[in-house]
Structure 1
Amino acid sequence: MSPLVMLTVLIAALLHASWNFLIKQEQDKHISMTAVVLGHVPFGLAAFIFSPLPQIESLPYVVIGALLHTGYQLFLLYSYRIGDLSQVYPLARGVAPLVVTGVSVAFLGVTLGRMAMVSIVIICTGIMSLVLVRRSNGLRNHRAAILSIVTGGFIAAYSLMDGMGARVAETSLGFYGSLSLLNTLFFTSVMHLIRPGVVKDVFCNHHRLAVAGGGASFSAYALVIWAFTIAPIPMVTALRETSIVFALLLGVIVLKERLDLVKVVATLATIVGAGLMRFNF
């Protein structure tokens, strides 16, 4: 992986953690997530000014990717309603490299060396130990852990789908612009059913959150999709998950979430595993 791609993915990691922090900080998670998703719209439309339209062959990837992003956003929303940022975010992001690697080996012809397998074991150890994390009140939070793992499955699925789709589309920005607009349509439709009035509330009262959160979210993943077209998807996915460092710091320092030894060890293990993984493809 070239230094430019590495720097780009690390910037995306910081942006990922930042918009997750904004969502967790808001009291009403339905409003904050809806604001972030709606905030994609101006950036998605602007993408067509600076990028050509994706190839028609990429349309199935756009549709399936938009559905997967919607599932991810819904599960992340409910994870944040019951869990700490410094638990939910590392666990959700830590699952993704494992699934991406497994699918890549089983179906995409990727061969792993011994050190790569060691890195996977390290990440697994970190993820499983996060199930033991306690909430701020000292109680265990297994529900948040389960929801976070499912969220990680969605991250892995859309990462693979989007990486392959952007290559077929022959334009990473045009591909993600199309996907983000369709994702917004899907997500706001679901929100209209489960929380009527939320979309209107965001339009009327939460412009700043939409612009800040939506801009960070769109920019972060646009950079990642570009990296997917340059470097192997598992490598980019693993490096992107260093965002858990930023999420842990934001959760503990700004949100005053509980910091215990389990969180520290689990997060460090996931970081080390992700770091080792990117040298093994």
Structure 2
Amino acid sequence: MPVEAFGVVLLAAVMHAIWNAFLKADGDRLSVVKTMSQAQLLLSVVLLPFVSFPAAASWPLLIASAVVNVGYMLFLVKAYRTGDLSHVYPLARGVAPLLVAGVSMALLDVHLDVPSQLAILLIGLGVTSLSLARGADGLRDWRMVAFAIGSGCFIAAYTLLDGLGARAAGSAHGYMVWLSILTSALIIAAVSWFQRDVRTTISRRTRLVGMGAGLASYFGAWAIIWAMTVAPIPLVSALRETSIVFAVIIGLVVFNESMNLRRLASVASTLLGVAIMKFSR
């Protein structure tokens, strides 16, 4: 992986951890997601004159990714309603890079050397095992596990679609802006439908949280889409999930969460995978 792509993906991982911390800090998550999407939609419309229109070959992938992103959001919300964040999030994020690597090698004729495969495996297992940081009791609800793994499948799907779509578009920037417009509009419509029977008043705090999370998520996604045009998609996918390490750090510093041996071992596995990816040739 080119060093500039490596650095950009790590920065995107930090942004991803930040917007999830915003989301965790507010109890009205559906409204936060809606405000995030509104901010992203507005920003994308402003940026439209400054980016290239995606090539025709990329549009089926772009539209499919937008639909899959909505499916991911719906599954994730459902998973959070049936299980704890500390169990759902690592399962969903850890499964994704393993699926991306498997599909890429089996169906897309992507070659990964042994160190790269080992790095992806260590990162995937390290992130997934964080779901055990508080014990296995929370994983006994099969509904939560099913929705979390389903969310991971959606993540893997939109990752592959975006990687292939951005390459076909001729411009990662144009692809990102148009993808955000479609995805944001669909998510706003979906959340509005879910809230149709409830009269909701979004507080000023929730709006600020949503805007901050939206901007962090936007630029993190932009960085990932660009990186997938210059580096192998499975490596970018795996490295992105190091956001969980930054999330653990934020949890320790901001939310006063504890660090136990299980969590430490998971973080160590993830960081070992990152080191192998960085220093292997």
TM over 0.5: yes
**Number of the residue aligned with 2:171:** 171
Closer, same or farther: CA 217–36 of 1 in aligned 2, 3 Å? same
How large is the Cα RMSD of the aligned pairs? 2.8
Larger displacement relative to structure 2 (77-86 or 214-223): 77-86
Q: How many residues were matched structurally?
A: 279
**Number of the residue aligned with 2:223:** 223
**Number of the residue aligned with 1:77:** 77
Structure-2-length-normalised TM-score? 0.86
Displacement of 1:243 after TM fit?
Answer: 1.0
- Measure, in 1, the Cα distance between the counterparts of 2:215 and 2:198: 20
Displacement of 1:133 after TM fit?
Answer: 3.6
Displacement of 1:76 after TM fit?
Answer: 2.7
**Number of the residue aligned with 1:6:** 6
Closer, same or farther: CA 153–64 of 1 in aligned 2, 3 Å? same
- Measure, in 2, the Cα distance between the counterparts of 1:205 and 1:246: 24
Query: Is 1:246 aligned to residue 249 of structure 2?
Result: no
**Number of the residue aligned with 1:156:** 156
Instruction: Read off the aligned partner of 2:138 and give its amino acid letter.
Output: R
Closer, same or farther: CA 126–145 of 1 in aligned 2, 3 Å? farther
Closer, same or farther: CA 139–97 of 1 in aligned 2, 3 Å? closer
Task: Extract unaligned runs of 5+ from structure 1.
Answer: none
Instruction: Read off the aligned partner of 1:168 and give its amino acid letter.
Output: A
Residue identity over aligned pairs, in percent, reads 37
**Number of the residue aligned with 1:94:** 94
Q: Residues 239 and 278 of structure 1 are in contact (CA less than 8 Å); yes or no, is this contact kept in structure 2?
A: no
Q: Residues 86 and 252 of structure 1 are in contact (CA less than 8 Å); yes or no, is this contact kept in structure 2?
A: no
**Number of the residue aligned with 1:111:** 111
Closer, same or farther: CA 66–94 of 1 in aligned 2, 3 Å? same
Instruction: Read off the aligned partner of 1:183 and give its amino acid letter.
Output: T
Larger displacement relative to structure 2 (107-116 or 31-40): 107-116
**Number of the residue aligned with 2:195:** 195
Q: Residues 123 and 242 of structure 2 are in contact (CA less than 8 Å); yes or no, is this contact kept in structure 1?
A: no
Task: Extract unaligned runs of 5+ from structure 2.
Answer: none
Post-superposition CA distance 1:101-147 (Å, at most 9, x none): 00111011122333344335434543563453437xx9534445543
Closer, same or farther: CA 243–232 of 1 in aligned 2, 3 Å? same
Instruction: Read off the aligned partner of 2:217 and give its amino acid letter.
Output: S
- Measure, in 2, the Cα distance between the counterparts of 1:198 and 1:6: 44
Larger displacement relative to structure 2 (48-57 or 58-67): 48-57
Displacement of 1:41 after TM fit?
Answer: 0.8
Q: Residues 72 and 154 of structure 1 are in contact (CA less than 8 Å); yes or no, is this contact kept in structure 2?
A: yes
1:256 counterpart SS class: coil
Larger displacement relative to structure 2 (153-162 or 89-98): 89-98
Closer, same or farther: CA 124–228 of 1 in aligned 2, 3 Å? closer
Displacement of 1:22 after TM fit?
Answer: 0.7
* Map 1:22-37 → 2, pairs under 5 A: 22-37=22-37
Structure-1-length-normalised TM-score? 0.86
